[in-house]
Amino acid sequence: MVKTVTEIARLLHGQVVGDGATQVSGVSGIVEAKPGEITFLAAPRYRRFLKSTAASAVIVPRDTEFPQKTLIRVAHPRLAFAKVMRLFYPLHPEVPEGIHPSAVIGQKVHMGRGVSIGACTYIQERVTIGDNAIIFPGVIIGRKSQIGSGSIIYANVTIREDTIIGKNVIVHSGTVIGSDGFGYAKEGHRHLKIPQKGIVIIEDDVEIGANVTIDRGTLGATRIGRGTKIDNLVQIAHNVVIGPHSLLMAQVGISGSTEIGSGVILTGQVGVVGHIKIGDESVVGAQSGVSKSVPPRSVLFGYPARPIQKTKRIEACLSRLPDLFKRVSVLEKGLNLLKRKWNDRSSKDH
Amino acid sequence: MVKTVTEIARLLHGQVVGDGATQVSGVSGIVEAKPGEITFLAAPRYRRFLKSTAASAVIVPRDTEFPQKTLIRVAHPRLAFAKVMRLFYPLHPEVPEGIHPSAVIGQKVHMGRGVSIGACTYIQERVTIGDNAIIFPGVIIGRKSQIGSGSIIYANVTIREDTIIGKNVIVHSGTVIGSDGFGYAKEGHRHLKIPQKGIVIIEDDVEIGANVTIDRGTLGATRIGRGTKIDNLVQIAHNVVIGPHSLLMAQVGISGSTEIGSGVILTGQVGVVGHIKIGDESVVGAQSGVSKSVPPRSVLFGYPARPIQKTKRIEACLSRLPDLFKRVSVLEKGLNLLKRKWNDRSSKDH
Amino acid sequence: MVKTVTEIARLLHGQVVGDGATQVSGVSGIVEAKPGEITFLAAPRYRRFLKSTAASAVIVPRDTEFPQKTLIRVAHPRLAFAKVMRLFYPLHPEVPEGIHPSAVIGQKVHMGRGVSIGACTYIQERVTIGDNAIIFPGVIIGRKSQIGSGSIIYANVTIREDTIIGKNVIVHSGTVIGSDGFGYAKEGHRHLKIPQKGIVIIEDDVEIGANVTIDRGTLGATRIGRGTKIDNLVQIAHNVVIGPHSLLMAQVGISGSTEIGSGVILTGQVGVVGHIKIGDESVVGAQSGVSKSVPPRSVLFGYPARPIQKTKRIEACLSRLPDLFKRVSVLEKGLNLLKRKWNDRSSKDH
């Protein structure tokens, strides 16, 4: 596909500075870009590459001046980058329409129009697959599960029975949805397994990374809210409920029955205990351990997680802690000396 | 299935308060329950739902009074819940008996009676599968491995060669058992791979979550003791030995050759270094890092892990640490002032 | 295979003490070894087993004396152990040459000589597979990917399109290479997906554990350097670049666009934020959180990661922190008492 800079600027609600007739046929990083490609200024510190880049045009923040290059000035460069990427590139690799002959399809499966089912994939009985859904090779979908229209299930994903997946959901390879929750009751020394009869509901527009695990509810549902994005190797326990438009970064773990609000950001390797609630639009820093419910718009960091300003104050103190021990020793000596002098004087006075 | 409250109470060794003839056909949460279902009081704070629940009967702790409802009073409500769930629901989804035609079965495989082998599953040569074992679709079982009777291997699991799995073991989807340990010897700048010729032994009644990794021994065995339960995304390195009836929660990692005792609980995201021993019935709090052997019945928390009381005392101090710095500054000023006064006085005295 | 101690010693550049004609046919641990096997002294603390081991010969450090046993003295016992293991045992289980009839091979796939393709494996169109590569069952390799000669891809691995894998690479089961990076731009409340059009490059001699996730670049490549070894359940985000001969232990997570140097060691569960650089030959202790670039040969530990000596000093202080609070309280009382006495005296003096 070839687009002019003017056409791209129109899509981005941006302003062209330079030659709007310049033709662009792809997107590249500012260092790697070749003539005929458009690139973007990812951060102010890359400004020095404006001079050397071979790109034919550069997407820049509004106030950028650089007369030697054709620029598109935009209010939100990252969003503009996303849009121009979506203009030139598809969201998933090309797949053939139809059912691969090696796929195994159970009884009473209901398939919509334009569905693609890959090789060695097994769709069990009574599964429903919506229009234009793409199921890659090696996927196993358990009985009575539903995959909404336009959803993409990558290779080697496992979806257990009775799972409900909405529209335009993306699930990356190796992920397991609907596995049994970790539920036991102690009976003497033994752990007696509690049957996990609940389900998993993944709402529309959710994206789930690779090798993620999402357990089914014990009773009721584990639910991932509309538009939420989950990175690789994340663990979602039974009966967790996550609101819409949240971000869970890699290796996060959420324990059973916890509620995560909407617009929440949990950074990499965060752990959250069970049966608590993280308020809407809260942000939790990397590797933090959250053990108590927090109100909306909390900004937490640390192990244990505290309000970030508090953790930062403590961190600053920690660096100076060995020094504090010395200061206290000096004080103790100083005070003792003064006491001794005082006592000497007092005894002399009498 | 329909049971009367009296029948259920007998199974639970519980006491009926109300109408023992009430009929029950399922279990549900206290909020979601419908007439004809039994529910339970999961925690005292849910007591307020006793009034509003539509359930026909409620399992409650022994001292609970609530005349408007049919109750079953029990000593251990969670255990009673597990038992009533097992009464009404199976431990795994229904599967057809027999070998799916798309499964690939190697030479000299020995299958017991009543085995189920799913689609696109590959059982390599000389594997032994016990009576009534269920192997879901997409599973790969390596040469000479043994699966005990009654065991359930969910979809897309990989079991490498020579693995020994006991009876009534459950392995959830995406899990890898018997992968090579992370063993190298340094040779100049290079890391020379050490062949991993050991095996993995999973004893009876173990349950292993989704996307877990259990490496084979370098020499000898990695061993998971009878009745131990492992949650999702856990890493068990080569030659780790875990005793019976332990619980390893999600995302725990155990390094090579470490021994975990019996009845140990490792909470989510705990890390344990290699070549140490965690004593029986120890409990380690979430995200803790254990770097030294600990005796039986240790209760640890923190990074690094310390006895929990010690960590809690330190945590309490940390919150007050910025304040301590101020107190020390005040002390320094106070002492200096007093010293100066003393010196002034002393010089005046002479 | 049977070898004499003298033959083995020659391979190890070691010195025989005792009967060099002793025949050895396998390797075992010092406790488990049987006659006819060779073992090694893994650590000085196992010296006591020299007396009891049934092994026919023992590999020991240079200065070891033990006249009752046939010894091979070597400069580097672990390296010698690796070499003797490689002498007696293969690096991977035996596989049949050729393409299993249940495998699905796409159009224009190019296969080298001696390739093995397992059951239910799907090689998509235009993939290139080098000589003697082994692809186990249940593997999915996406369009146009390249697998170098001698590489081993274990069961149930997923390799997405356009991935480049070098020679003699080993990828363990359940691993996903080339999944989409976690890239979105915010548009109001929504997260707009950025197409991930980059690739993954795995250089020669890399080994990747089980259930690892390596995301493709957004633009450009995610790259794992020659000879680097990655343990199980590690997360490598988009556009991460790892130098040669580094070690990433289990459950490590590296965020987007970060650069890890050569010869770096990241211990278990370490997290590294995005867009930073870890200098060559740095070592980061278990569970540490690295949030800033560090120069070569840094040795870091802690959350947040600091130079290890600094963290250790702080840790030592933390154990004594409750005591420090008491000492400061004692000081405050002491100083107040002295002030009061001073004031009493001063007022008396006047």
Give the dihedral sign, CA A238/A243/A245/A248.
Answer: negative
Residues in chain C within 8 Å Cβ distance of A27: 197, 219
Span B308-331, mean pLDDT? 95
Nearest chain A residue to C104 by CA distance is: A119
Share of chain C above pLDDT 70, in %: 99
pLDDT at B78: 92
Of C170, C263, C269, nearest to B271 by CB-CB distance is C269
Residues in chain C within 8 Å Cβ distance of A319: 306, 310, 314
Query: How far apart are the CA of C187 and the nearest CA of chain B, in angstroms?
Result: 33
Of B120, B191, B271, nearest to C245 by CB-CB distance is B191
Of B122, B195, B317, nearest to C321 by CB-CB distance is B317
**DSSP secondary structure letter of residue C69:** S
Specify the 3-state DSSP secondary structure of C210: coil
Q: B: neighbours with 3+ CB pairs under 8 Å?
A: A, C
Residues in chain A within 8 Å Cβ distance of C194: 81-82, 85-86
Whether omega for the bond prior to residue B67 falls within 30 degrees of 0, making it cis, is no
Specify the 3-state DSSP secondary structure of A213: strand
Task: Determine, for residues B174 and C249 on separate chains, whether the beta-carbon distance falls below 8 Å.
Answer: no
Of C191, C213, C331, nearest to A210 by CB-CB distance is C213
Task: Determine, for residues C286 and B306 on separate chains, whether the beta-carbon distance falls below 8 Å.
Answer: no
Give the model confidence (pLDDT) of C68-108 as tens digits: 999 999 999 999 999 999 999 999 999 988 999 999 999 99
Close Cβ partners of C322 (under 8 Å, ≥ 6 residues apart):
B313, B314, B317
pLDDT at B350: 63
Question: In which residue are the tokens 């195994």 written?
Answer: A104
Q: Look at residue B87 and tell me whether its pLDDT is greater than 90.
A: yes
Euclidean distance between CA atoms A216 and B154, whole angstroms: 14
Query: How far apart are the CA of B179 and the nearest CA of chain C, in angstroms?
Result: 7
Active site residues of A: 238
Nearest chain A residue to C198 by CA distance is: A28
Structure tokens at B286: 């979430």
Distance between start and end Cα atoms, chain C: 103
Mean pLDDT of chain B: 96
Q: Look at residue B296 and tell me whether its pLDDT is greater than 90.
A: yes
Q: Look at residue C42 and tell me whether its pLDDT is greater than 80.
A: no
Task: Determine, for residues C93 and B143 on separate chains, whether the beta-carbon distance falls below 8 Å.
Answer: yes
Q: Look at residue C350 and tell me whether its pLDDT is greater than 70.
A: no
pTM of the model: 0.97
Q: Look at residue B293 and tell me whether its pLDDT is greater than 80.
A: yes
Q: Look at residue B325 and tell me whether its pLDDT is greater than 90.
A: yes
Question: In which residue are the tokens 């916890």 written?
Answer: A258
What is each CA distance from A6 to A2, A12, A24, A40, A73, in whole angstroms? 12, 10, 10, 16, 12
Give the model confidence (pLDDT) of A132-165 as tens digits: 999 999 999 999 999 999 999 999 999 999 999 9
Close Cβ partners of C329 (under 8 Å, ≥ 6 residues apart):
none
Active site residues of B: 238
The ipTM value here is: 0.96
Of A269, A331, A332, nearest to C253 by CB-CB distance is A269
Of B158, B190, B306, nearest to C174 by CB-CB distance is B158
Give the model confidence (pLDDT) of C216-267 as tens digits: 999 999 999 999 999 999 999 999 999 999 999 999 999 999 999 999 999 9
What is each CA distance from B66 to B3, B49, B61, B63, in whole angstroms? 22, 11, 12, 10
Residues in chain B within 8 Å Cβ distance of C286: 271, 273, 289, 291
Span A190-197, mean pLDDT? 98
Mean pLDDT of chain A: 96
Residue C275 is among the residues annotated as catalytic for this protein: no
Which of C140, C345, C346 has the most A C-beta neighbours within 10 Å, making it the best mutation to test the interface with A? C140
Confidence band of C347 (pLDDT split at 50, 70, 90):
confident
Task: Determine, for residues A193 and B91 on separate chains, whether the beta-carbon distance falls below 8 Å.
Answer: yes
Q: Are C123 and C106 in contact (CB under 8 A)?
A: yes
Query: Residue B277 — φ and ψ, nearest 5°?
Result: -130, 125
Angle at B301 between CA B295 and CA B307, to 5 degrees: 45
Euclidean distance between CA atoms A106 and B267, whole angstroms: 40
Query: How far apart are the CA of B189 and the nearest CA of chain A, in angstroms?
Result: 30
Give the model confidence (pLDDT) of C291-310 as tens digits: 999 999 999 999 999 999 99
Q: Look at residue C348 and tell me whether its pLDDT is greater than 80.
A: no
Residues in chain C within 8 Å Cβ distance of B221: none
**DSSP secondary structure letter of residue C310:** H
Which of C37, C284, C287, C349 has the most B C-beta neighbours within 10 Å, making it the best mutation to test the interface with B? C287
Task: Determine, for residues A255 and B251 on separate chains, whether the beta-carbon distance falls below 8 Å.
Answer: no
What is each CA distance from A241 to A158, B232, C177, in whole angstroms? 21, 18, 29
Q: Look at residue B65 and tell me whether its pLDDT is greater than 70.
A: yes
Q: Are C166 and C226 in contact (CB under 8 A)?
A: yes
Question: In which residue are the tokens 């967790």 written?
Answer: A240
Nearest chain C residue to A320 by CA distance is: C314
Which of C11, C38, C139, C318 has the most B C-beta neighbours within 10 Å, making it the best mutation to test the interface with B? C318
Name the residue among C244, C228, C92 with its Cα closest to residue C154. C92
